[in-house]
Structure 1
């Protein structure tokens, strides 16, 4: 570091330009009279005495009388300790500024607006790893590679993971192979046109960011069931229902597990119409109290406006939002069961397992 850089750094540490210049001069001279310091630096003669006394008050120099005022640099231990403390504070402040800029405290806010897609992906990674029931995610192959480990961890934990892959506006790698998808999801579909990134976790969290061609880059992270429910319909209608399945681990033989009541009813309706007896376990919570519940019984009735699995046509979008529920009969009582957002039924089901079909 040359003299100029050292002087400027001391100014950044709180010294005035004259103080910084005089102190560096004293470091070079060792000790000198006030007049000599003024002549060897840019400090005007009338100002040199005030400058040296100011440096003495700050602990940088000590002055003494020897026919005239003299000064010498003080033992640098205290000065060095102060500078290193300042440096650490600057470094800590820089880290804090970066953290606050890119990742606000999401735990304290229902809705957080962030500036970078990286922040959205980082938060989605954390939430996916902590998921307990369901993940729905739409993303590009590049984003899939970033979140592959998190999706694999969720799948290993028994979470139902639905993945919709779509291209970005730039070049993308090829779609993941079946071996990769088998490790990272329950089912995957492919959409041929670019879309925004979206991840829904356990019906509570939503991570969203527009696609790369948007005018502004930003992200939204929401911890709210109502917002997640709205984004769920975007996922179902734009990223799922009408697109090709490229991988599925689902079995046609019990036990068969569903996290979406409508998907369950598509398969159950033709079985009931054919006279089959279906035993199922419902996990979810009571709509009135919010208490968790697990009930096993027989599915004895359904209310469903959609198209069943026995129909070759796809489900019309206009029928996706129709009423959907089932009735579960136990040895003691019957219960009505709704899906995500259930209000009038006894239970909202988060997971339905078909145990047997007779």
Structure 2
């Protein structure tokens, strides 16, 4: 224990004394937290919409005014012709253009079905479809008020959003960012450990020291484990206090899952570090490991949308499991049985990566 304690203290001081490592510890995680929290959102706000009103009647004006009053619409651009509509879409001045035909008000007054057209910018397909949903909802609300008897006959439906009643996208983003940013910081720190020893010329001293291989590895695992736990705690507090995201689950399960997740990441980082000769190689290797870890986790796009063979690959991604755990603990008080259902594959990945890292480290020492 004396040797192990000395190794842990030595590694902690090595991390704190290195200016580059200190910067990696402090600046990027907080920048990523606040930038990603506001930038990675699928909500469409402050959008510009064009309107080509060929009717000019009272109902058409009412529809346009309601669209202008929507909190998601920043500006409504009035158009005079189809050429103006084409230019507005082509030049990306607007995401969508609403076309109200000439007979729109006559059809409404006569009780006939009245429709409008909506032209979307396919280059921004996701935002355009979301904006189209806003416009369709506004038009449907107006139609329901104009013909309440039709609405009454057709019936009504009540939509309830579980776990996120306001459908606030940041409630999904912030818990997910805990998994993503912790992984970035954890891999960046761990990947530098052995490479730093080689670059500074102290790796040979470790080889002739009385320390055993497992003691060296355990000593190098403690600093990134502490940093990951600290970052996870700070992000969880920031999500609740600064952004108002509720945490409804168990803190004990959260820290247990974070510990196992960090061990899996440390195993990957140690593999990269043991295979690298310089810190620059280790940095590039950690970046190479971080990119697929994020993309295959389900954070950027749902795993169900990926090809079948790629979905199989995601089972080797530790972020896939921790992402489910952290979202469940934040938003829906995930029970222990469900947490352990995601935790055992994470523990298996941790065992495999740490074992592989120990084997490679021992092979590079010989």
- After TM superposition, is the score higher than 0.5? no
If the length of structure 2 is used for normalisation, what is the TM-score?
0.21
Which one has a larger percent strand, Structure 1 or Structure 2? 1
* Higher RCO structure, 1 or 2 (CA under 8 Å, sep 6+): 2
If the length of structure 1 is used for normalisation, what is the TM-score?
0.22
